[in-house]
């Protein structure tokens, strides 16, 4: 069974004040870098099971969350009013109303907007689908030349081809190995051995 190291805890706290009154309403412990890493590891470990639930399974979780928000409306509104200084009416319409509505919206319409996307391409050697990635996928840039990308295990970084003004030049992302379809037939180029360019596999 996999285990996660317990982080070092901190005794520092953050005082949460009501900006409208200045009153301290709560003292929260500061989350240390070690604790953040553990939380991210837990989220990454949970991602495969969450994805495996499918749209219907995740929709049931969202609807339960929506019901909890509605059933605990006064508690949610009261917390928002205290922490942000908003009026009761503003918090009830904006945060509570929008939040509950968004949970219902995505429970019902997630398949339409988040299903795997079939990407059309003019290149017969590039076929596949792009799907949302889980925890661990990240790309960043520092200046014009320092571009770094961390590709999660079991996935590939897919980048579009802009020849013939094709739309896939504006699509890139991480693709799980299990969603790669087709067969590689040629080597486009090899930076370590350019003589292999366009050779059959």
pLDDT tens digits, 42-74: 998 998 899 899 999 999 999 999 999 999 999
Residue 128: predicted pLDDT: 44
State the average pLDDT over residues 137-159. 68
Q: Which residues contact 30 (CB under 8 A, 6 or more apart)?
A: 10, 12, 13, 14
**Beta-bridge partner residues of 91:** none
Query: Final residue of a domain: which of 114, 136, 151?
Result: 114
Structural domain boundaries enclosing 87: 13-114
Same domain, 19 and 97: yes
Specify if 7 maps to a domain.
no
pLDDT for 2 beyond 50: no
For the packed helices 54-71 and 98-114, what is the interaxial angle rounded to 10 degrees?
170
Residue 36: predicted pLDDT: 93
Same domain, 109 and 27: yes
Q: What is the pLDDT of residues 20-33, one digit of tens each?
A: 889 999 999 999 99
Does residue 148 sit in helix, strand or coil?
Answer: strand
- Name the residue among 29, 31, 16 with its Cα closest to residue 79: 16
Residue 119: predicted pLDDT: 55
Q: How many domains does the chain have?
A: 2
Q: What is the pLDDT of residues 107-118, one digit of tens each?
A: 999 998 888 766
Question: For strand 13-17 and strand 24-29, is the pairing parallel, antiparallel, or unpaired?
Answer: antiparallel
Structure-token pair, residue 135: 């925890």
Same domain, 110 and 166: no
Mean pLDDT of the chain: 79
Query: Final residue of a domain: which of 67, 82, 114?
Result: 114
Specify if 28 maps to a domain.
yes
Query: Final residue of a domain: which of 72, 98, 114?
Result: 114
pTM, to two decimals: 0.56
pLDDT for 168 beyond 60: no
Rg (CA), the chain: 24
pLDDT for 159 beyond 80: no
Q: Out of 69-73, 101-105, 123-127, 181-185, pick the least confident.
A: 123-127
Residue with tokens 């639930």: 53
């Amino acid at each position: 069974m996999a285990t996660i190291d317990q982080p070092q805890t901190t005794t520092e706290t953050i005082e949460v004040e009501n900006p409208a009154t200045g009153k301290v309403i709560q003292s929260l412990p500061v989350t240390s870098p070690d604790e953040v890493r553990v939380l991210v590891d837990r989220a990454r470990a949970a991602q495969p099971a969450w994805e495996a639930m499918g749209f219907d399974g995740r929709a049931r979780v969202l609807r339960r969350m929506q019901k909890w928000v509605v059933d605990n409306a006064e508690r949610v509104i009261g917390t928002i009013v205290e922490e942000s200084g908003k009026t009761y009416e503003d918090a009830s319409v904006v945060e509570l109303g929008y939040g509950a509505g968004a949970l219902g919206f995505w429970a019902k319409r997630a398949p339409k907007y988040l299903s795997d996307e079939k990407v059309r391409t003019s290149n017969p050697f590039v076929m596949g689908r792009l799907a949302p990635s889980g925890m661990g996928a990240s790309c960043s840039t520092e200046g014009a030349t320092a571009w770094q990308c961390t590709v999660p295990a079991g996935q590939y970084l897919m980048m579009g081809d802009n020849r013939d003004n094709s739309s896939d030049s504006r699509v890139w992302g991480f693709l799980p190995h299990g969603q790669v379809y087709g067969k590689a037939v040629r080597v486009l180029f090899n930076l370590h051995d350019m003589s292999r360019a366009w050779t059959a596999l």
